[in-house]
Amino acid sequence: MKWALVSVALIFSLVFLLLPLANVFVQALAKGWSFYWASLTQPDAWAAIRLTLLVAGISVPLNVVFGLAAAWAIAKFQFRGKSLLVTLIDLPFSVSPVVAGLMFVVLFGLQGFFGPWLDAHDIRIIFAVPGIVLATVFVTFRSSRAN
């Protein structure tokens, strides 16, 4: 029975983790290494890589700081608003990323709730780095959830 369960776990890992990963590399290298390298040296590719590194460099520390502070506060103290804090932490589990994206557009888009004020002050959130960071922090907060 032990070996059967281990085999099922390995097959599951192979099918759902390794095969898609292998497919990504096969598709990326389908036209050869030279085409792949030429694609990576394009200005748009470098812009995407820089944006990814910037957003990760902002989002990860924010999640670490907020996650540690929230976990410490929830575990050590009794305070008014504790249940609200726990609810906010659980929010990414109950709200789809698509719905969260729509919420950000409704709040911060040009026709949104804060849109006219943001536009009047020349502040860009949606389709700019702050919006990408906000969405990334919201979505990745699932993995840094405090209990």
CA distances from 71 to 65, 82, 86, 88, 90 (A): 10, 11, 9, 13, 13
Whole-number pLDDT of residue 97: 84
Sequence-separated contacts (24+) of 31-37 with Cβ below 8 Å: none
Task: Assign 127 to helix, strand or coil.
Answer: coil
pLDDT tens for 42-61 read 999 999 999 999 999 999 99
Contact yes or no for 146/74 (Cβ under 8 A): yes
Please say if the pLDDT value at position 146 is more than 60.
no
CA 79 to the chain's CA centroid: 30
Q: Per-residue confidence at 129, pLDDT binned at 50, 70, 90?
A: very high
Whole-number pLDDT of residue 9: 92
**pTM of the full structure:** 0.72
pLDDT tens for 79-126 read 998 999 888 888 888 888 889 889 999 999 999 999 999 999 999 999
Q: Which helix (H) or strand (E) holds 80?
A: none
